[in-house]
């Protein structure tokens, strides 16, 4: 089994980038694997240094897919290398995950009971699956994936923390290529290792100011297997299976699946 949670080589070392990860190398059920230097996932790009931009340019970045809301984009626009195609595909009209609020303020102005971060995230994952806005975003995401067909061109997709909206994008993408669900779950959970330093520093500051919020903020800034299970439950209720959901709700055709495998597998 490809134990993704142990694969720290996937975590790209940027000066000011959090949760930047290579998706190459994951093996399908038929023995093929995802190509390296074709697709990466990350948290926000707004604080990247010039060295980070040079790194991404040298890495081959050609397309930046941004799952954040317009208000998040206005507040913290992406920094990307010159010549990179920028694509805005907001999964939510506003950031329901609250990740952008927490990044901007240690004690954020959040619009739900701050003691219920865990329960809030379970609801967020259900909405990712059921809302028309999110379905449209992921449908268009597949269009961008299909357009990333030139050899050595890299597509990056991200949100604010690179874990929820981005996490589900990775689930859909890896599943359609034939990556086992066990590996997909491990990649999803790798966020906690990739973001550990950033989240630890954040929680230290939260504890200084209001220790009662630590558990809730941790729930908002990390991933949990139960979040993914909440999405899977919503998928089962909506479509019966993940395969049916991607085909019927995201409208990915058999021919497109074949093309995606040609582009991303070797």
Each residue of 247-258: pLDDT tens digit? Answer: 999 999 999 999
* pLDDT over 70, % of the chain: 89
**How is the chain classified by DSSP, letter by letter?**
---GGG-GGGB---SS--S-EE-TTPBPTTS-BBPTTSEEEES--TT--HHHHHHHHHHTEEEEEE-S-HHHHHHS-----TT-EEEE--SSSS-TT-HHHHHH-SS---SS-GGGHHHHHHHHHHHHHH-HHHHHHHHHHHHHHHH--STT-EEEEE-SSSSSHHHHHHHHHHHHHT--HHHHHHHHHHHHHHTHHHHHHHHHHHHHHHGGGHHHHHHHHS--HHHHHHHHHHHHHHHSSHHHIIIIIS---HHHHHHHHHHHB-
Distance of CA 96 to the CA centre of its chain: 14
Range with the lowest mean pLDDT among 40-49, 201-210, 242-251? 201-210
Give the count of alpha carbons within 13 A of 37, CB side only: 10
Lowest mean pLDDT among 99-108, 138-147, 160-169: 99-108
**pLDDT at residue 96 in the model:** 60
Beta strands at 61-66 and 21-22: parallel, antiparallel or unpaired: unpaired
pLDDT at 235: 99
Average pLDDT score over residue span 144-163: 97
- Tokens representing 28? 């399908």
**For residues 216 and 160, is the Cβ–Cβ distance under 8 A?**
no
7 has a pLDDT exceeding 80: no
Q: Can you tell me the mean pLDDT for 60-75?
A: 96
Q: What is the CATH number of domain 4-97+115-264?
A: 3.90.190.10
Tell me what the pLDDT averaged over the chain comes to: 91
17-44 average pLDDT score:
97
At residue 177 the predicted structure's pLDDT band, cuts being 50, 70 and 90, is very high
- The percent of residues in the chain predicted with pLDDT above 90, rounded, is 76
pLDDT of 115 above 70: no
pLDDT tens for residues 72-111? 999 999 999 999 999 999 999 875 655 545 454 444 444 4
For the cut 70, the answer to whether the pLDDT of residue 158 exceeds it is: yes
Predicted pLDDT of residue 107? 46
d(CA 192, CA 179): 21
For the chain, domain boundaries: 4-97+115-264
Taking a C-beta distance cutoff of 8 angstroms, is the pair 61, 83 a contact? no
């Amino acid at each position: 089994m490809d134990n993704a949670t142990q694969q720290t080589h996937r975590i790209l070392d940027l000066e000011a980038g959090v949760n930047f990860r290579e998706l190459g190398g994951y093996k399908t059920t038929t023995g093929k694997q995802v190509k390296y230097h074709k697709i990466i996932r990350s948290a926000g790009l707004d604080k990247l240094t010039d060295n980070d931009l040079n790194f991404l340019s040298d890495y081959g970045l050609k397309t930046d897919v941004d799952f954040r809301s317009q208000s998040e984009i206005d507040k913290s626009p992406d920094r990307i290398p010159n010549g990179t195609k920028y694509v805005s595909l907001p999964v939510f009209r506003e950031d329901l995950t609250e990740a952008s609020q927490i990044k901007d303020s240690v004690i954020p102005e959040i619009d739900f009971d701050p003691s219920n971060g865990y329960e809030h995230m379970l609801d967020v994952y259900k909405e990712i699956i059921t809302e028309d806005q999110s379905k449209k975003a992921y449908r268009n995401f597949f269009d961008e994936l299909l357009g990333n067909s030139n050899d050595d061109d890299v597509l990056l997709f991200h949100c604010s923390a690179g874990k929820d909206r981005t996490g589900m994008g990775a689930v859909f993408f890896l599943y359609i290529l034939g990556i086992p669900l066990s590996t997909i779950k491990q990649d999803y959970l790798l966020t906690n290792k990739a973001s550990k330093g950033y989240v630890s520093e954040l929680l230290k500051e939260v504890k200084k100011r209001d220790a009662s919020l630590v558990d809730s903020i941790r729930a908002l800034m990390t991933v949990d297997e139960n979040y993914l299970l909440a999405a899977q439950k919503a998928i089962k209720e909506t479509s019966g299976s993940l395969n049916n959901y991607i085909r019927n709700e995201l409208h990915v055709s058999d021919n497109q699946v074949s093309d995606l495998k040609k582009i991303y597998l070797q």
